[in-house]
Chain A
Amino acid sequence: DAMVIQNPRYQVTQFGKPVTLSCSQTLNHNVMYWYQQKSSQAPKLLFHYYDKDFNNEADTPDNFQSRRPNTSFCFLDIRSPGLGDAAMYLCATSTRLSYEQYFGPGTRLTVT
């Protein structure tokens, strides 16, 4: 089945230690998104790609970066995680012409 896959599902990192979360998709969608969702809150868009064109949200901290080496894969890099970065990180995809987004299961990040 076509899907959005996120690895790992759970990630523990130390304060200040860089961490990378990954997302892959078999849907061949040209738009990919990263959302941050803190406990009991709504998902908040960090950035998204139209194909290789990167679009950063104005309030996304510089500590967060992303790479999309090809259509299928997208990475979220947190350069120096702080305790406030502990959250669920959700990857999603869509086509340019569709409003509906397809979400992966998320990666829960814990910062110790």
Chain B
Amino acid sequence: SQQGEEDPQALSIQEGENATMNCSYKTSINNLQWYRQNSGRGLVHLILIRSNEREKHSGRLRVTLDTSKKSSSLLITASRAADTASYFCATGYNKLIFGAGTRLAVHP
């Protein structure tokens, strides 16, 4: 079963704008990961944040984790058309449980 929910389900923005996606989960975690999936393709790992971390950066990506609220957010700054994809959070060790995903569309 899915670990949690993501919102929004879909997000449409213009190039250059920031995109924020949120993920909630139900059980205690050791870490949380974010993956990207381009249409009809496999998933690509973006970033992992451990349960003792509150914020992590990787290039234009910023991830936050609030274990008290069982939630995480992914911020993509200065978005590009190439960022158009679905984004999933996932929890677990080896056996990943994915959130429902956010479909991001970035328009030129």
Contacts and interface: CB of A to CB of B under 8 A. Distances in A.
B94 interface: yes
Q: How large is the interface on B (under 10, 10 to 19, 20 to 34, 35 or more residues)?
A: 20 to 34
A53 to B, nearest CB: 12
B33 A99 contact: yes
B100 A4 contact: no
Contacts of A102: 45
Describe A's contact surface by its main secondary structure: strand
28 contacts: A4-B42, A6-B42, A40-B103, A42-B2, A42-B101, A43-B43, A43-B98, A44-B98, A45-B95, A45-B96, A90-B43, A92-B42, A92-B43, A94-B94, A99-B31, A99-B33, A99-B48, A99-B93, A99-B94, A101-B43, A101-B45, A101-B96, A103-B42, A103-B44, A105-B41, A105-B42, A106-B42, A108-B40
Interface of A: 4, 6, 31, 40-45, 48, 50, 88, 90, 92, 94, 96, 99-106, 108
